Amino acid sequence: MWKFFHQLASPPHFYRLAAIFSPWFLVPGIALIAYGVYAGLFLAPMDYQQGDAFRIIYVHVPSAYLSLMAYMIMAISGGIGLIWRMKLAHAVAAAAAPIGATFTFLALATGSIWGRPMWGTWWEWGDPRLTSELILLFLYFGYMALRGAIDDTAKADKASAVLALVGVVNVVIVHFSVEWWSSLHQGQTLMKEGGPAMDPGMLYPLLAMIFGFTLLFGSLLLRRVRTEVLFRERRTRWVREMIMSPEGQ
């Protein structure tokens, strides 16, 4: 088992494995998303309060969930990179950041679009989830800015790992403090996800979307890590040999 992990961590090995696994994530992911989109938009019944507007949760909820998940992956792999000095872990963290930021942005945008018919405004400061999500976006910006500002890759890896670990503790505190804050200002409990018994016709497409998005995320992450590994190892022998070889990958 340990040997397997050790092998996985070696860049050429990972590079080949990722190429094999990436489609295994991508194809079922796309299939689930296709089902989810169709079922969510056409099959699921209309919400008796929100009308058709609720259907945006099929994008919003998976994005919001993945925005947090990507940050976790970033922080955990950063920590692994710091402690065990595993270079691949740093490449994973570097690759996860822009994907996570994109999902965060998607969650914010869909939340805002949903808010327009519901609250009559594009942005509602009173909603704790949107506010936390916005702070999360800023955390991603800070992380990517720090990476961009340091020229030396090894140094950027380590510095940004420290930042991500500090940030992950903060995400929890942000969540609770924003909840407290919005409860002071007559917390409008606006988006109650998975509240009292969702209609199965609504729920199944949502689950399909969540799994589909996760698989898509996995595939995107594998692809990005591959590129990252290739770039970082550009001076090594295996990359040169691979490029020179007739198949060329």
Partner 1 sequence: MTEKLSADNLTLIRGERCLFEGLDFALNSGEMLLLEGRNGCGKTSLMRAIAGMLSLETGQVLWNDVPVLKQRQTFHGALVWLAHRTGLKGDLNMLENLHFEQSLRPQSADDHEVVYDRLGIERLRRLPLRSLSAGQQRRVALARMLLADVPLWLMDEPFTNLDREGRKLVMTLVEEHLAAGGMCVMAAHQDVEINAPVTKIRLQ
Partner 2 sequence: MNGSAPIQPGMLSGLWATARRDLLLAWKRPGDVLNPLFFFAMVCTLFPLAVGPSAEQLEFSGPGVLWVAALLATLLSLNSLFLGDFEDGSLDQLLVSAQPLPVLALGKTLAHWLTSGLPLVLVSPILAITYRMPWSVVPVMMLTLLLGTISLSLLGSIGAALTVGLHRGTALLSLLILPLAMPVLLLGANTVSLAAGNDIYTTGIWALGAYAVASLSLAPYATAAALRISNE
Residues that bind partner 2 (CB under 8 A): 82, 135, 138-139, 141-142, 145-146, 149-150, 152, 154-155, 158-159, 162-163, 165-167, 169-170, 173-174, 177-178, 180-181, 184
Q: Is 152 in the site for partner 1 (CB under 8 A)?
A: yes
d(CA 29, CA 211): 7
The footprint of partner 1 on this chain (CB under 8 A) covers a number of residues equal to 5
Q: How far is the CB of 173 from partner 2 (least distance, A)?
A: 5
Smallest gap, in angstroms, from Cβ of residue 81 to partner 1? 12
Least distance CB 152 / partner 1 (angstroms): 6
- Which of 154/207 has CB closer to partner 1? 154
Residue 128 binds what, of partner 2, partner 1, none (CB under 5 to 8 Å, by partner type)? none
Q: Pattern of binders to partner 1 over 57-96, x per CB under 8 A?
A: ----------------------------x-----------
Question: Which region, judged by CB under 8 A, interacts with partner 1, from 20-28, 38-46, 134-142, 150-158?
Answer: 150-158
Q: Which stretch binds partner 1 (CB under 8 A): 61-69, 106-114, 149-157, 199-207?
A: 149-157
Query: SS3 sequence, the chain?
Result: CHHHHHHHHCHHHHHHHHHHHHHHHHHHHHHHHHHHHHHHHHHCCCECCCEHHHHHHHHHHHHHHHHHHHHHHHHHHHHHHHHHCCHHHHHHHHHHHHHHHHHHHHHHHHHHHHHHHHHCCCCCCCCHHHHHHHHHHHHHHHHHHHHHHCCCHHHHHHHHHHHHHHHHHHHHHHHHHHHHHHHHCCCCCCCCCCCCCCCHHHHHHHHHHHHHHHHHHHHHHHHHHHHHHHHHCCCCHHHHHHHHCCCCC
**Judged by CB under 8 A, which of 235, 237, 244, 245 binds partner 1?**
235
Which chain residues interact with partner 1 by CB under 8 A?
85, 151-152, 154, 235
